[in-house]
């Protein structure tokens, strides 16, 4: 059953065009040209309870704006949305007590105080019973393995440690819906994996519905069963992660490994050459031509190994972005 329902959601931002120079600034005092930026344009989707959905798009696509509207931080220009049956921007108390949002570039913790002090403040804000608070905190601290850092000033923590504290602060009141906006931004590979492992454990432990934005596809592949791609404010794909390349399933990636180096000009003659490195080469081939290409390569080149794969997920996503950009 859907816990998040979005119907034709739009958000416009008005701004003014400034003329160049002092004379232009003076003219703007009396006549300014108003421009409108459509940050979110006619977005519709629904998300079932307990699922983890990736919300992807290039910078400026409208991801964060959408999350802000769904969490009630921002009003839409038009359209409708319901989260757990509530209209988010009405900010009703029962709604606020059942959602949480973590933004990787903004902290909800006091930097000069230990995280434990901020946790205690959240307990009071959300009116959490002391026994339930202690039980949840102990469970999360044990799960995250950060007991020794609880009494350290937040600004003295590493970025990865601070991010764990941010997630704990967001989960103390056991929200039904968690919005995560770039939770692993700026983290090293080990810290990114640590956060992903924790989020996977949380899903099994609390059954929280998660909507996640990230520029790291490892986050999406590890955590999400479904993705929603947004570009220029509109949804360009909504479905299973595995279906991204199936939507544009006309291409395969063929990797050849040779017994000796082969001149690039020779390889170019086979068509679709993407890269050459040492004794290996990567080709992009039409799906219908893979068999013929492979036979020709095996007959004409010193091939010792051949691998055929779907195009990388990144390429499928990039092609969807480009395809939609051409339509706009």
- CATH code assigned at 262: 3.30.70.980
Residue 71 lies in a domain: yes
Let me know whether 153 and 292 are in one domain.
no
Q: How much is the pTM?
A: 0.74
Residue 262 lies in a domain: yes
Tally of residues, the chain:
328
Query: Does an H or E element contain 18, and which?
Result: none
Residue 58 lies in a domain: yes
Let me know whether 178 and 75 are in one domain.
yes
Let me know whether 132 and 261 are in one domain.
no
Quickly count: other Cβ atoms within 10 Å of residue 54's Cβ.
Answer: 22
Residue 36 β-bridge partners: 14
Residue 140 has a pLDDT of 85
Let me know whether 257 and 239 are in one domain.
no
Let me know whether 79 and 113 are in one domain.
yes
Residue 62 has a pLDDT of 87
Number of domains in the chain: 2
Domain that holds residue 183: 46-244
Let me know whether 230 and 278 are in one domain.
no
Let me know whether 274 and 174 are in one domain.
no
Residue 316 has a pLDDT of 63
196 vs 203: CA distance, rounded Å: 11
Residue 176 lies in a domain: yes
Domain boundary among 229, 244, 259: 244
Residue 129 lies in a domain: yes
User: Is residue 250 classed exposed, middle or buried when 0-12, 13-18 and 19+ CB atoms within 10 A define those classes?
Assistant: exposed
Let me know whether 92 and 228 are in one domain.
yes
Let me know whether 144 and 166 are in one domain.
yes
Domain boundary among 201, 229, 244: 244
- Do 156 and 112 contact (CB within 8 A), yes or no? no
Let me know whether 257 and 178 are in one domain.
no
Domain boundary among 205, 226, 244: 244
Low-confidence ranges of the chain (pLDDT < 50): 325-328
Residue 30 lies in a domain: no
265 vs 90: CA distance, rounded Å: 64
Residue 11 has a pLDDT of 92
Residue 321 lies in a domain: no
Let me know whether 60 and 94 are in one domain.
yes
- Give me the CATH number covering residue 101: 3.40.50.300
Residue 186 lies in a domain: yes
The angle at the Cα of 243, spanning 54 to 83, to the nearest 5 degrees, equals 35
Residue 319 has a pLDDT of 66
Residues 6+ apart with CB under 8 A from 181: 63, 64, 67, 101, 102, 103, 104, 105, 213
Let me know whether 305 and 179 are in one domain.
no
Residue 312 DSSP class: P
């Amino acid at each position: 059953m859907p816990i998040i329902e979005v119907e034709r959601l739009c958000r416009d931002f008005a701004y003014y065009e400034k003329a160049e120079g002092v004379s232009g600034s003076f003219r703007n005092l009396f006549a300014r040209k108003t421009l409108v930026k459509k940050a979110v344009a006619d977005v519709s989707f629904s998300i079932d309870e307990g699922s983890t959905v990736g919300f992807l798009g290039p910078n400026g696509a409208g991801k964060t704006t959408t999350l802000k509207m769904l969490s009630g931080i921002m009003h839409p220009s038009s359209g409708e949305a319901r989260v757990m049956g509530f209209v988010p921007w009405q900010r009703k108390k029962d709604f606020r007590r059942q959602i949480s949002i973590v933004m990787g570039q903004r902290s909800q913790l006091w930097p000069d105080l230990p995280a434990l002090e901020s946790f205690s403040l959240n307990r009071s804000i959300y009116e959490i019973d002391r026994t339930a608070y202690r039980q949840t905190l102990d469970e999360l601290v044990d799960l995250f393995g950060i007991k020794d850092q609880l009494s350290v000033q937040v600004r003295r923590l590493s970025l990865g440690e601070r991010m764990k504290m941010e997630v704990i602060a967001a989960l103390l009141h056991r929200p039904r819906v968690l919005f995560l906006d770039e939770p692993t931004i700026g983290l090293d590979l080990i810290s990114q994996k640590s956060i992903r492992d924790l989020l996977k454990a949380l899903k099994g432990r609390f059954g929280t519905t998660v909507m996640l934005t990230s520029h790291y596809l490892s986050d999406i592949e590890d955590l999400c069963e479904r993705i929603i791609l947004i570009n220029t404010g509109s949804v360009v794909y909504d479905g299973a992660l595995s279906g991204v390349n199936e939507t544009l399933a006309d291409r395969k990636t063929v990797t050849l490994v040779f017994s000796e180096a082969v001149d690039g000009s020779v390889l170019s003659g086979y068509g679709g050459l993407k890269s050459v490195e040492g004794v290996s080469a990567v080709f992009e081939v039409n799906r219908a031509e893979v068999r013929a290409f492979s036979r020709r390569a095996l007959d004409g080149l010193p091939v010792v190994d051949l691998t055929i794969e779907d195009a990388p997920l990144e390429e499928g996503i990039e092609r969807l972005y480009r395809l939609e950009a051409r339509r706009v």
